[in-house]
């Protein structure tokens, strides 16, 4: 299932403000059609309704590599160790919410990536096994 959120976007070209749907999370088991957009970096592509300028939203996307016990957060801005650790802490606080989540969290590999090439390799490996 794809999780989306309506966000406000300001066009880089004409400064028009508009609303667009942004992807927050993807379950690869259910949403294989989005793998191509993830691999190309075009998952959060938006277009200004006024001037037609195409932009790519700079947002984290949580990718569930189901049926593998792997969750990947792809965030092009998470280049520093501190940024990656902050995302790791967020994951740890979510899974610490209750015993069931904690058990699931302990069995899940959690990875933070900022590099599109690394994400592409993981997606290609996934497709070799599950396509």
Question: Would 118 be classed as within a structural domain?
Answer: yes
Q: Report the predicted TM-score, pTM, of the whole model to 2 decimal places.
A: 0.85
Question: Please, which pLDDT band fits residue 95 given cuts at 50, 70 and 90?
Answer: confident
Question: Would 99 be classed as within a structural domain?
Answer: yes
Omega into 91 within 30° of 0, i.e. cis? no
Q: What is the mean pLDDT of the chain?
A: 91
Q: If we measure between CA atoms, which residue out of 38, 34, 70, 73 comes closest to residue 56?
A: 38
Question: Please, which pLDDT band fits residue 100 given cuts at 50, 70 and 90?
Answer: confident
Question: Would 8 be classed as within a structural domain?
Answer: no
Question: Would 74 be classed as within a structural domain?
Answer: yes
Whether residue 1 is predicted with pLDDT greater than 80 in this model: the reply is no
Task: Tell me the residue range of the domain where 79 lies.
Answer: 26-45+59-130
pLDDT the model gives residue 65: 94
Whether residue 63 is predicted with pLDDT greater than 90 in this model: the reply is yes
Question: Would 40 be classed as within a structural domain?
Answer: yes
CA-based angle 56:36:49, to the nearest 5? 35
Question: Would 97 be classed as within a structural domain?
Answer: yes
Question: Would 50 be classed as within a structural domain?
Answer: no
Query: Average pLDDT in the 41-45 region?
Result: 90
Q: In the chain, how many domains are there?
A: 1
Query: Average pLDDT in the 52-58 region?
Result: 94
């Amino acid at each position: 299932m794809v999780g989306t959120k309506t966000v406000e976007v300001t066009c880089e070209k004409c400064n028009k403000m508009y609303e667009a749907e942004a992807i927050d999370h993807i379950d690869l088991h259910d949403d294989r059609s989005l793998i191509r957009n993830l691999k190309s970096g075009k998952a959060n592509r938006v277009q200004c309704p006024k001037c037609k300028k195409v932009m790519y939203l700079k947002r984290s996307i949580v990718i569930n590599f189901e049926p593998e016990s792997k969750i990947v957060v792809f965030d092009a801005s998470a280049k520093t160790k501190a940024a990656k650790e902050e995302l790791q802490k967020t994951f740890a606080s979510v899974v610490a919410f209750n015993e069931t989540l904690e058990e699931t969290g302990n069995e899940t590999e959690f990875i933070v990536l900022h590099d599109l090439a690394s994400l592409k390799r993981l997606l290609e490996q996934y497709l070799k096994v599950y396509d």
